[in-house]
């Protein structure tokens, strides 16, 4: 029976050599297809291989200010106060909760999966009351239900609505502009907070136009940097809320970092090497052109979905989101047919074929594997990964429809 034999875990040769953007093995590159961190381009790695400088000196201050200004362009915001932290995305979540609220205040979290639940857990850790807008597993956040839940809050006890733009655990985009429209339609004054950690610089985001009061972003996905840097971007309404907020805070306290609406310092040593890398990552995005970057992500996503649809037609794995219009452009979560283990496919893909995939998180563990297609990625990398995943499916004895790779090629050619 295919796939019945033992999997040989032979990871010893996947060793990272210095200054290489991908993991080199004696038989070629490892294809790193995680939905974050993502492939770090050689140019970014090289830019970071520099000595430290005085982080209060003019050279670093100019670099920091320029990078924060350029990030505003990616967020499509004229005036937001962007603050960077030496912290992974969880740090930016914590900054959002610590700066904006007081203990006992109520927030409404739109459930979208693992990452929405963890943002909610951060709010609970600060003593906030968390109300959940429930969403069924493979569905998009229901903005009409959001409007109804806000309309019931006649006393305006809800201080903020929290929404994850791209839920990385399910590979689903959620409707930001539409959520803002219903908040306005019911005349609710809640702040609107959006997590863009796995959409930023991968697809269109319009902070000002969509009326987002606070954005949370991270470095290790579309921005192609190592993990360990994250951001918030606040508009004037969010900055005003921060003045009144009583949550305890120090490392993430905007009052310690922001002067005249701009980040003027860090609490502690500035993470200058991230800025060396960020400057070059922004150069790369601007050289390609943001709209072209978005179009590339869309094409790679469409090709991935075309491939998975062909697998599904043979009773095989399928695209996890049910509503195709909301399937993510930065990753595809792939749902296994019943009785087949996604982690076995992942193990085979990595150990035999050198393709590293994301796992299913908590309730989706074993049911889903995730193909990251964001950041520094091109057509041959994607096609190679998809073909190797097909081999892994075959080795694991998972049924699947034929023609996936041809379907991906056809989508790319179109």
List interacting residues with ligand PLP (CB under 6 A).
Answer: 36, 88-90, 115, 164, 168, 195, 197-198, 218, 227
With residue 160 as reference, give the H or E element that holds it: strand 158-164
- The tokens describing 13, both together, are 């040769």
Q: How far is CA 94 from CA 103, 124, 193, in A?
A: 14, 11, 12
Closest separation in Å from C-beta 168 to ligand PLP: 3
Closest separation in Å from C-beta 38 to ligand PLP: 11
Please answer whether residues 385 and 43 qualify as being in contact, where contact means their C-beta atoms are separated by less than 8 angstroms.
no
Question: To which residue do tokens 């500035």 refer?
Answer: 270
Name which of 39 and 388 has its Cβ closer to ligand PLP. 39
Q: How far is CA 359 from CA 25, 59, 346, 370, 371, in A?
A: 22, 41, 8, 6, 9
Name which of 171 and 354 has its Cβ closer to ligand PLP. 171
Name which of 35 and 147 has its Cβ closer to ligand PLP. 35
Name which of 87 and 392 has its Cβ closer to ligand PLP. 87
Q: Which residue is nearest to ligand PLP (CB)?
A: 89
Closest separation in Å from C-beta 95 to ligand PLP: 12
- The tokens describing 342, both together, are 């996604």
Closest separation in Å from C-beta 203 to ligand PLP: 13
Measured CA to CA, the distance from residue 59 to residue 270 in angstroms comes to 13
- Give 72's contacts (C-beta < 8 A, 6+ positions apart): 78, 79, 80, 82, 233
Name which of 88 and 304 has its Cβ closer to ligand PLP. 88
Closest separation in Å from C-beta 205 to ligand PLP: 13
Angle, CA of 65, 67 and 70, to the nearest 5°: 110
Name which of 304 and 393 has its Cβ closer to ligand PLP. 304
Closest separation in Å from C-beta 89 to ligand PLP: 2
- Give 298's contacts (C-beta < 8 A, 6+ positions apart): 203, 329
Sheet with 158-164, side-by-side order of all strands = 81-85, 230-234, 214-218, 191-195, 158-164, 106-110, 129-133
Name which of 25 and 90 has its Cβ closer to ligand PLP. 90
Closest separation in Å from C-beta 338 to ligand PLP: 27
Name which of 273 and 340 has its Cβ closer to ligand PLP. 273
Largest separation between any pair of C-alpha atoms in the chain: 68
- Give 140's contacts (C-beta < 8 A, 6+ positions apart): 172, 173, 174, 175, 321, 323, 326
Closest separation in Å from C-beta 198 to ligand PLP: 4
């Amino acid at each position: 029976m295919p796939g019945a034999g033992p999997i040989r875990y032979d990871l010893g040769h996947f060793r990272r050599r210095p200054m290489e953007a991908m993991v080199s093995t004696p038989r070629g590159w490892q294809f790193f297809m995680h939905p974050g961190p993502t492939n770090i381009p050689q140019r970014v790695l090289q830019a970071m291989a520099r000595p430290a400088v005085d982080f209060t000196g003019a050279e670093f201050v100019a670099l920091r200010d320029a990078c924060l200004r350029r990030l505003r362009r990616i967020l499509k915001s004229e005036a937001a106060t962007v603050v960077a932290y030496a912290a992974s995305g969880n740090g930016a979540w914590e900054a959002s909760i610590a700066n904006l609220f007081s203990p006992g205040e109520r927030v409404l979290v739109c459930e979208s999966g693992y990452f929405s639940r963890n943002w909610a857990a951060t709010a609970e850790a600060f003593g906030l009351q968390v109300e959940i807008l429930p969403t069924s597993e493979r569905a998009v956040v229901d903005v009409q239900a959001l409007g109804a839940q806000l309309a019931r809050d006649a006393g305006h006890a809800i201080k903020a609505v929290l929404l994850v733009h791209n839920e990385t655990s399910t590979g689903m985009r959620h409707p930001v502009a539409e959520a803002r429209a219903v908040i306005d339609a019911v005349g609710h004054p809640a702040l609107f907070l959006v997590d863009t950690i796995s959409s930023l610089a991968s697809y269109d985001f319009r902070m000002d136009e969509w009326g987002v009061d606070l954005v949370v972003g991270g470095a290790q996905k579309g921005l192609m940097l190592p993990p360990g840097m994250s951001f918030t971007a606040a508009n004037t309404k969010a900055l005003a809320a921060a003045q009144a907020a009583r949550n305890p805070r120090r490392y993430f306290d905007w009052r310690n970092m922001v002067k005249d609406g701009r980040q003027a310092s860090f609490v502690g040593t500035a993470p200058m090497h991230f800025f060396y890398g960020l400057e070059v990552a922004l150069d790369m995005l601007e050289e390609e052109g943001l709209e072209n970057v978005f179009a590339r992500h869309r094409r790679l996503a469409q090709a991935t979905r075309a491939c998975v649809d062909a697998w599904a037609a043979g009773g095989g794995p399928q695209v996890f989101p049910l509503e195709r219009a909301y399937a993510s452009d930065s990753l595809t979560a792939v749902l296994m047919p019943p009785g087949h283990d996604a982690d076995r496919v992942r193990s085979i893909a990595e150990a035999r074929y050198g393709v590293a995939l994301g796992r299913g998180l908590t309730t989706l563990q074993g049911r889903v594997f995730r193909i990251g297609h964001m950041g520094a990625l091109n057509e041959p990398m994607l096609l190679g990964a998809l073909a190797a995943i097909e081999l892994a499916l075959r080795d694991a004895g998972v049924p699947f429809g034929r023609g996936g790779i041809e379907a991906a090629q056809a989508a790319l050619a179109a």
